[in-house]
């Protein structure tokens, strides 16, 4: 919600209380401001309990973090030591690995999709490992790309050979035994040449 809209709500609440102070009834105020009488009642109650701060729109607190500040600092320390120091092969932190470390170290289980949000909030980025065969031969791949691939690529789109260009449709035999063909614009010339 924008601050301008929040300011509008706060102004409306203050205006309702000012009108109430001038002797307006809840029904009159509700009609004038386009709200319910129940809203006016809640605003009055909040004002009496908390004063002016009761009329200010409060941001929702959100859920309580499962990891406290100390645990988060400890986790960030573990992550900065590297994945191999924690027992993984390779120095790549994936969401699944971070989730496993959190679960083992603190007994807290997060949904896998939430791990990337946590990492971004803490200033870390998710890393994705390359999946390549261990027997991969880069020189053989380079030679194939430079020598064999151009030959395959050229032969793939080299014209139409002896394929029929255009669409030919054979119709049932006409009386007299001759085939009747329907084709493109040359159909008339072909029928003259056949006769």
My answer on whether 34 and 75 are in the same domain is: no
- Per-residue model confidence as pLDDT tens digits over 78-118: 999 988 898 888 888 888 899 999 999 999 999 988 998 88
103 in any annotated domain: yes
Two structure tokens written together for 30: 């509700």
My answer on whether 114 and 80 are in the same domain is: yes
159 in any annotated domain: no
79 in any annotated domain: yes
41 in any annotated domain: yes
My answer on whether 51 and 73 are in the same domain is: no
My answer on whether 73 and 117 are in the same domain is: yes
Two structure tokens written together for 116: 């990337």
SS3 181: strand
Residue 7 CB: number of other CB atoms within 10 A?
Answer: 12
Domains contained in the chain, number: 2
161 in any annotated domain: no
12 in any annotated domain: yes
- Per-residue model confidence as pLDDT tens digits over 40-90: 898 889 888 888 887 777 777 778 888 888 999 999 999 999 888 988 888
82 in any annotated domain: yes
Q: Based on the number of CB atoms within 10 Å of its own CB, is 174 exposed (0-12), middle (13-18) or buried (19 or more)?
A: exposed
My answer on whether 42 and 81 are in the same domain is: no
pTM, two decimals, is 0.42
Residue 127 CB: number of other CB atoms within 10 A?
Answer: 14
Domain that holds residue 98: 69-121
Instruction: Report which of residues 32 and 188 the model is more confident about.
Output: 32
Q: Is 57 left (phi over 0), alpha (psi -120 to 50) or beta?
A: beta
My answer on whether 43 and 13 are in the same domain is: yes
Radius of gyration (Cα) for the chain, nearest Å?
A: 38
107 in any annotated domain: yes
Domain boundary among the residues 85, 106, 121 is at: 121
Handedness of CA 84, 88, 90, 94 (dihedral sign): negative
My answer on whether 16 and 41 are in the same domain is: yes
């Amino acid at each position: 919600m924008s601050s301008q809209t929040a300011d509008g709500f706060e102004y409306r609440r203050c205006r309702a209380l000012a009108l109430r102070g001038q002797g307006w009834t809840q029904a009159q105020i509700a009609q004038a401001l386009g709200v319910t009488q129940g809203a006016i009642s809640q605003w009055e109650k909040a004002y009496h309990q908390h004063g002016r701060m009761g009329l200010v729109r409060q941001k929702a607190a959100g859920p309580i973090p499962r990891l406290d500040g100390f645990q988060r600092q400890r986790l960030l320390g573990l992550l900065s030591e590297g994945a191999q120091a924690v027992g993984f092969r390779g120095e790549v932190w994936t969401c699944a690995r971070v989730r496993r470390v959190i679960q083992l170290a603190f007994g807290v289980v997060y949904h896998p999709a939430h791990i990337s949000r946590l990492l971004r909030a803490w200033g870390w980025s998710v890393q994705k490992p390359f999946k390549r065969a261990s027997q991969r031969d880069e020189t053989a791949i380079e030679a194939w790309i430079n020598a064999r691939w151009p030959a395959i690529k050229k032969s793939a789109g080299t014209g139409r050979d002896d394929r029929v260009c255009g669409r030919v449709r054979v119709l049932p035999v006409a009386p007299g035994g001759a085939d009747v063909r329907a084709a493109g614009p040359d159909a008339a010339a072909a029928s003259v040449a056949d006769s």
